[in-house]
Structure 1
Amino acid sequence: MKRSKSIKLVVMATTTVTIAGCSDEPTLDGRVYKTEAECVADSYVPDEVCVEAITAGKTIHKASGPRYDTVNLCNEQHGNNVCAYDSATDGSSYYTPFPAGYFLAGALTGAVTNQLIQSNVRPVYPERGSKRYYTSGGYYVGSYGGGSWRTYDDAVKTPPKPAKVQTRTSVASRGGFGSRSSSGYRGG
């Protein structure tokens, strides 16, 4: 009996250490800026990177930002007065929230290329009724004080998917904007 008890304790202790080592917390550091001027004033990245990064963020928003078939649905998901009418090159129209800012990953602090900028910038969007922000891919982006922000590595490693126009039914099936991410979902 003593032998099986000690084996169980070793297995339980190992499992606890393994679970503790698997954190679901964001680990990718960066900053969120609303404008180029805000980015330049902070000096987190070189000034020329600020201009290119914000421009890249706007391009990414245009291709992958959340889209809704009605302004009311957009407002329900992101808050009042943050949604605008837009249209795609195929002639379809939709409502989309304005990005609350652009997450710039810490990888941008050195010399960079345009491809590196594209893969380290993501627009972030508010979730209505909370102080939480998410990328269009559903990755949580959180403020950790002192200007520091964090998200998941996959938020920048995974290329943004082209946006689809959401309807009330598709939003309800997801549980609303950001809800997958806030319950442990980190993208998709």
Structure 2
Amino acid sequence: MKYLIVGLGNIGPEYELTRHNIGFLTVDRLADKEGAAWKSDRLVFKTEAKHKGRTLHIIKPTTYMNLSGKAVNYWMKELNIPKENMLVLVDDVAIPFGKIRMRAKGSAAGHNGLKNIEDLTGGQDYPRLRMGIGDNFPKGRQVDYVLGRFSQQEFDELPVIMDKAIDMIFSFCTTGIAQTMTQFND
């Protein structure tokens, strides 16, 4: 069995530790834990990990967040991975910081990366791991907030949150989405 694990974010040092890049940060941590090295490939940085007989193809699109669907669609087809075996890790301002929710499908909820994936893969029916970044911003300042860096307190809490997300990724690949949602969703 093979899976496509997609961490969403923006490339470049100016975005590296921003809230919008929590998907990138989490798959980076997963790769580090698995001793997997990233390589540049078509539209992505890519690596692989093995877990309980499953192959996890892990990608970070280099297309910038709003064009993530181009990379996702290409690698789904290239690797012949069905949508139900794809998991997209994404930041979510509608969820409090530190909370994580897996969903089998759903709307983009205003997230341009998810919207582009929907547009290019043919709908909303793909699993996603929504990682809460909170909504602690004044009206009209959402872009500054999501593209802003984590507070020191948030940054200190990130390893535990990312490790839970990694446990959820492994569970998704081994026990399936329904069991994972039951066991882990906040």
Shared fold by TM > 0.5? no
Larger Rg computed on CA atoms: 1
Question: What is the TM-score normalised by the length of structure 2?
Answer: 0.30
